[in-house]
């Protein structure tokens, strides 16, 4: 987990630096590219950690905690990126609403991860809580896919072409944050289904 946290810190630091520089230089397409690349990198870190835990024989609680923690980091990344962008670089009246949404979602994910980890350390496994987490992962996956499709249909990813729209950087963060969450959710759900299938065959 320590190694993944270091990678997370480096990715977030790199992404924020690249995003700040691209906005300052007036290069929205570079901002789009960097945000996209970093979001994929973030998702891959989360997925590789999930794979590693499963190969090591980690139990469901450990895997679920890791997945929720990584989802929380994505939301935190989005919240920090939005705050820095609209406090210091661009103007957008509604930015704080999206910042709060990301911050609250990130806090809930991290709280969930810490809660089930503490339960496990105390020798308890709450199947109900794990089941709720599984269902919420489905909700998140569907929600993120719908959000991305909606943004593409509404032309949100080309807002930078109209100077009066200063929310273009936020739209990039929303879209690629949603992509990272969708990828993490999709793999977690696929792997959990695969585990269930193998367990059923063994019995």
CA 176 remoteness from chain centre: 9
Mean pLDDT, range 55-84, rounded to an integer: 95
Burial class (CB in 10 A: 0-12, 13-18, 19+), 200: exposed
**What is the pLDDT at residue 203?**
40
Owner of token pair 């109209």: 162
Report d(CA 12, CA 29) in Å as an integer: 19
Is 75 strand, coil or helix? Answer: helix
Contact 61, 119 (CB under 8 A): yes
Owner of token pair 């269930």: 196
Report d(CA 68, CA 130) in Å as an integer: 11
Contact 69, 85 (CB under 8 A): no
Read off the pLDDT of residues 38-64 as tens digits, 9 standing for 90 and up. 899 889 999 999 999 999 999 999 999
Report d(CA 148, CA 8) in Å as an integer: 24
> pLDDT at residue 200 above 50?
no
For 153, 177, 197, the CA distances from 141, given in Å and listed in that order, are 19, 12, 21
**What is the pLDDT at residue 198?**
47
Report d(CA 47, CA 113) in Å as an integer: 16
**What is the pLDDT at residue 13?**
87
> pLDDT at residue 149 above 60?
yes
The angle that helices 168-202 and 127-153 make with each other, rounded to 10 degrees, is 140
Q: Over the chain, what is the mean pLDDT?
A: 91
CA 149 remoteness from chain centre: 17
**What is the pLDDT at residue 196?**
52
**What is the pLDDT at residue 2?**
63
Global pTM?
Answer: 0.91
> pLDDT at residue 1 above 70?
no
Read off the pLDDT of residues 162-185 as tens digits, 9 standing for 90 and up. 888 999 999 999 999 999 999 999
CB atoms within 10 A of CB 97: 10
**What is the pLDDT at residue 11?**
81
Mean pLDDT, range 85-95, rounded to an integer: 95
């Amino acid at each position: 987990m320590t190694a993944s946290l270091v990678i997370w810190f480096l990715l977030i630091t790199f992404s924020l630096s690249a995003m700040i520089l691209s906005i300052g230089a007036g290069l929205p397409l570079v901002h789009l590219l960097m945000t996209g690349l970093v979001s994929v990198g973030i998702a891959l870190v989360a997925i590789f950690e999930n794979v590693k835990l499963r190969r090591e024989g980690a139990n469901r609680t450990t895997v679920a905690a890791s997945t929720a923690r990584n989802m929380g980091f994505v939301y935190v990344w989005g919240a920090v990126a939005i705050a820095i962008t609209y406090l210091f670089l661009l103007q957008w009246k509604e930015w704080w609403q999206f910042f709060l949404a990301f911050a609250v979602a990130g806090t809930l994910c991290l709280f969930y991860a810490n809660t089930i980890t503490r339960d496990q350390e105390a020798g308890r496994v709450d199947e109900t809580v794990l089941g709720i987490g599984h269902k919420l992962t489905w909700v998140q996956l569907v929600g993120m896919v719908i959000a991305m499709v909606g943004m593409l249909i509404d032309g949100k990813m080309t807002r930078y072409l109209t100077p009066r729209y200063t929310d273009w950087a936020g739209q990039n963060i929303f879209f690629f944050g949603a992509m990272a969450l969708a990828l993490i959710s999709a793999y977690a759900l696929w792997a959990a289904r695969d585990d269930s299938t193998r367990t059923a065959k063994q019995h």
